[in-house]
Amino acid sequence: MANRIVVDPVTRIEGHLRIEAEIKDGKIVDAYSSSTMVRGIEQIVKGRDPRDVWAFVQRTCGVCTTVHALASVRAVEDALDIAIPANAEMVRNIMEGSLYMHDHVVHFYHLHALDWVDVVNCLKADPKKTSEIAQSISSWPKSSPGYFSDVQRRIQKFVESGQLGIFANGYWGHPQMKLPAEVNLLGVAHYLEALEWQKEIVKIHTIFGGKNPHPNYLVGGMACAINSESPGGLNAERLAMVGKLLKEGKQFVEQVYIPDLLAIASFYKDWGAIGKGFGNYMSYGDFPTNGYADLSSFKFPQGVILDRDLSKVHDVDHRNGDIEEFVNNSWYNYSDGDDKGKHPWDGETNINYSGPKPPYDFLNVEEKYSFIKTPRWKGLPMEVGPLARLLVGYGRGNKEIQDAVNGALTHLDVPVDALFSTLGRTAARGIETQLVANWTMGFYDTLMNNIKNGDERMANMNSWEPKTWPAEAKGVGFMEAPRGALAHWIRIKDGKTANYQQVVPSTWNASPRDPKGQRSAYESTLIGTPVADPELPLEIIRTIHSFDPCIACAVHLYDEHGNHISQVQNIASCER
């Protein structure tokens, strides 16, 4: 028996991505991942002032806002050999740390939770019992029976209106929804609370960068000058606000996000065996504490793990030929043929769409099928993201990371193997949020101490003027974005951007096949995913969402013979 459906688009992600997959006996046996939107930002920044480029490439993504700006200023600073002041490093770390808290909480509640929490079912809950559960797992003060019955009443009124808005046509009542009504009510209450909380933590970006989304960065440091004795710069009031927001953010992570994550995960332990993938993981490392050049000072270590072997961690080198991008299955052309890979310093972005003319039902996956290029490390596909970061840290013997991971495994009473899964990816995101929240408090303390000791420098402007630059230079700015390993490669010539290439986390995870036919992470992890009701492919979006995709998806299922036919409404007629 074969079932075929089209799911297009997958929502609660950023961007436009499409996956075509083959399903047999209720399980996915093959999948193809494709992005269907392109803007050409790498072409647009060519010829621009390298000091401006951070603002252009920041617009690659407004969800994980700041990460591309940071990768860009690092790339330019690397090319021009600029060391930024310690305060600027701490401010960037604090901004990145608060982004992790924001991004991971929003992902969990607003982009992922509705895959696990049944909103409509919460109307059946006994608010008293929800209150008992809440108080048994956390000291978060908003936990009275009255609080939960108010939330329930509000949802009831909303549902009764007949206009379900963002909750319309959701997967309510799906057999894969396993939470008791009381836990569903807890999840819905915290969905709303997190929506209100997330607008607070971003104010840290507003203080340092002037706005959020898309705060301002600066090649050489940060623009937010410190002046402890003037209303004109960062003074005690501004810094105290950062301290308060960080403390409240950490509290929300510890008292709401982590307890909810563990509570909800405990009902879905079977997802510790689904969404495994090929087992290669890569982290570039991030949160430097002694300059970008000193890899040993990074809080997240860099490295590669192959085939789930945590006993051996390989080094990552961004400057040799280890990392290459392929376009054999992507809608681009290389000037010297599409069969070879290119290191990003020599990369090209020549758009050449050769897919079907819209409107179309299916892509031709035998040929080029995506606007995403295919990156490889030493010819191998890599999974990147929170899980990769934790596994690399674990493998490197980082005690703090090992303790955090072991603690969560013990709490959930699942084996180490459960990490390599959809559940593992989602749990890793929570575990690292706790780590990053702790570290970010430390970055804040360091910043305050520096100022106390009289260091108020925020930018190194020695190499600001293009006339001080060499005629030609190249640099790489790498980092760990919340979604995984991110790097920008720049070539500067005569003061202008001669070439610019971004290899983003979703490029690693969501890319099409390479010339050897090796699948990337989305395609690989979907294989084996069970689909109870192909008309409502909840399980597919669970695994896809576990990566926190930064691209909008469309998921197609083929029959076992690869005969794709049209839309979901045909499902009844095309069974068997």
Partner 1 sequence: MSINNEQRKTYYESIIKNGYNRRDFMKFTTYMAAFMGLESTMVGQIAKSLENTPRLPVIWEHYQECTCCSESFIRSDHPIVADIILDRISLDYTLTLMAASGHQAEAAKQETMNKYKGEYILCVEGSIPLGDDGNYCCIAGKSAKESFLEAAEGAKAIIAWGSCASNGCIQAAKPNPTEATPIHKIVKNKPIIRVPGCPPIGEVMAGIIVHVVAFGRLPELDRLGRPKAFYAKRVHDSCYRRPYYDAGLFAETFDDHNAKEGYCLYKLGCKGPMTYNSCGTIKWNNGVSYPIQSGHGCIGCSEANFWDNGPFYERATKVPGLEEEGLADDIGKVAAGVLAGGLAVHAVAANISKRKELMSRIRRGKSNEKNIDS
Tokens matching residue 327: 């376009």
Q: Is 61 a residue of the active site? A: yes
Alpha carbons within 13 A on the beta-carbon side of 3: 19
Residue 226 in contact with partner 1, rule: CB under 8 A: yes
Show the site string, 110-149: x = touches partner 1 by CB under 8 A, - = not.
x---x----xxx-x--------------------------
> CA angle at residue 22 from 552 to 306, to 5 degrees?
75
Q: Which of 31, 71, 188, 218 binds partner 1 (CB under 8 A)?
A: 218
Q: How far is the CB of 85 from partner 1 (least distance, A)?
A: 8
Q: Is 396 a residue of the active site? A: no
Nearer to partner 1, 268 or 394 (CB): 268
Distance of CA 100 to the CA centre of its chain: 9
Residue 186 in contact with partner 1, rule: CB under 8 A: no
- How many residues bind partner 1 (CB under 8 A)? The answer is 114
Other Cβ atoms less than 10 A from the Cβ of 565: the count is 15
Q: How far is 500 from 493, CA to CA, in rounded Å?
A: 12
Q: Is 318 a residue of the active site? A: no
Residue 532 in contact with partner 1, rule: CB under 8 A: no
Residue 175 in contact with partner 1, rule: CB under 8 A: no
- The DSSP output letter for 246 is H
Catalytic choice (33, 107, 553, 556): 553
Q: Is 68 a residue of the active site? A: yes
Residue 44 in contact with partner 1, rule: CB under 8 A: yes
455-484: which residues touch partner 1 (CB under 8 A)?
Answer: 456-459, 461, 464
234-253: which residues touch partner 1 (CB under 8 A)?
Answer: 241
Residue 202 in contact with partner 1, rule: CB under 8 A: yes
Q: Which stretch binds partner 1 (CB under 8 A): 93-101, 207-215, 401-409, 410-418?
A: 207-215
Q: Which of 141, 161, 399, 576 binds partner 1 (CB under 8 A)?
A: 161
Residue 224 in contact with partner 1, rule: CB under 8 A: yes
Residue 169 in contact with partner 1, rule: CB under 8 A: yes
Show the site string, 3-42: x = touches partner 1 by CB under 8 A, - = not.
--xxxxxxxxxxxx-------------------xxxxxx-
Q: How far is the CB of 233 from partner 1 (least distance, A)?
A: 5
Residue type, 229: E
Note whether 373 and 330 are within 8 A (CB).
yes
Residue 223 in contact with partner 1, rule: CB under 8 A: yes
Phi then psi for 212, rounded to 5 degrees?
-150, 135
Q: Is 64 a residue of the active site? A: yes
Phi then psi for 497, rounded to 5 degrees?
-80, 115
Catalytic choice (12, 18, 51, 68): 68
CB under 8 A, 24+ apart: contacts of 517-520: 518/278, 518/376, 518/380, 518/381, 519/31, 519/278, 519/381, 520/33, 520/374, 520/381
Residue 159 in contact with partner 1, rule: CB under 8 A: yes
Q: How far is the CB of 514 from partner 1 (least distance, A)?
A: 23
Residue 216 in contact with partner 1, rule: CB under 8 A: yes
Tokens matching residue 59: 């617009």
Note whether 482 and 100 are within 8 A (CB).
yes
Closest C-alpha among 242, 226, 246, 243 to residue 234: 226
> CA angle at residue 68 from 59 to 287, to 5 degrees?
150
Q: Which stretch binds partner 1 (CB under 8 A): 137-145, 178-186, 218-226, 511-519?
A: 218-226
CA distances from 432 to 79, 389, 407, 416, 562 (A): 31, 9, 12, 16, 40
Q: Which of 90, 520, 541, 558 binds partner 1 (CB under 8 A)?
A: 541
Phi then psi for 138, rounded to 5 degrees?
-160, 155
60-99: which residues touch partner 1 (CB under 8 A)?
Answer: 60-63, 65
Q: Which stretch binds partner 1 (CB under 8 A): 168-176, 318-326, 418-426, 467-475?
A: 168-176
Give me the count of residues in the chain: 576
Residues with active-site annotation: 14, 61, 64, 68, 483, 506, 550, 553
